[in-house]
Amino acid sequence: MKQKGPYKILSSKNVYKNPWISIQEDEVIQKNGVKSTFGVIDYGSGVSILALDKEKNVCLIREYYYAIEEYALQLPSGGIEKNETPLDAAKRELLEETGITGDNWIDLGFVHPLSMILKSPAYLFLVTGLSYSNNSEEGIEIIKKSFKEAYDMVVKSEINHAPSCVAILKAKKYFDKIK
């Protein structure tokens, strides 16, 4: 019987898979002897990028999100492809979604957006020294807000994409530290 942390796995089966996600269901015995079921969604690793211009404006994107049935604001974000580092993915996603490249990349760490059922670490970056092209992804509206406005929008839940919120909060801590 395989052990996973304090759980003994009785059985494990893949219940769904497509090119983006897989869902696994495990029957386990808890430490107290009680049987239970865990479902795990593997969405792969991703990145979120806080692109900050010389005037301290943040590049946000607004697009329609099918799962939550609404348009929402977030930082440019996307998946890490096979054999790609988080930094390489961040550079690619920022360019693809916004047409922006940057010179100075700062690693802000990572976050697990929903650690009870979702396996999808999001790596967070701050980038400055921006250069712009007019190439952005179709269906994405680019919106600039001052860093203070973006921070306040997180506090008011006007930005509620978890990795974006964490990246903005971590950047605030980073800026406070270097003052």
* Residue 38 and residue 51 in one domain: no
* Residue 86 and residue 131 in one domain: yes
* Residue 19 and residue 107 in one domain: no
The per-residue pLDDT for range 36-61, each reduced to its tens digit, is 999 999 999 999 999 999 999 999 99
Instruction: Give the containing element (helix H, strand E) for 108.
Output: strand 100-111
In degrees rounded to 5, what are phi and psi of residue 151? -60, -50
75 inside domain: yes
Q: What is the rounded CA–CA span in Å between residue 146 and residue 55?
A: 8
In degrees rounded to 5, what are phi and psi of residue 83? 65, 25
User: CATH number of the domain that 61 lies in?
Assistant: 3.90.79.10
* Residue 125 and residue 154 in one domain: yes
76 inside domain: yes
The per-residue pLDDT for range 121-153, each reduced to its tens digit, is 999 999 999 999 878 888 899 999 999 999 999
23 inside domain: yes
Range of the domain at 26: 2-42
The pTM for the full model equals 0.93
92: left (phi over 0), alpha (psi -120 to 50) or beta: alpha
129 inside domain: yes
Contacts of 34 (CB under 8 A, 6+ apart): none
Mean pLDDT is lowest, of 55-59, 139-143, 154-158, 166-170, for 139-143
> In this structure, what DSSP letter does residue 134 have?
S
Count of domains in the chain? 2
144 inside domain: yes
* Residue 55 and residue 87 in one domain: yes
* Residue 174 and residue 131 in one domain: yes
**pLDDT reported for residue 1:** 80
Instruction: Say whether 90 sits in a helix, a strand or coil.
Output: helix
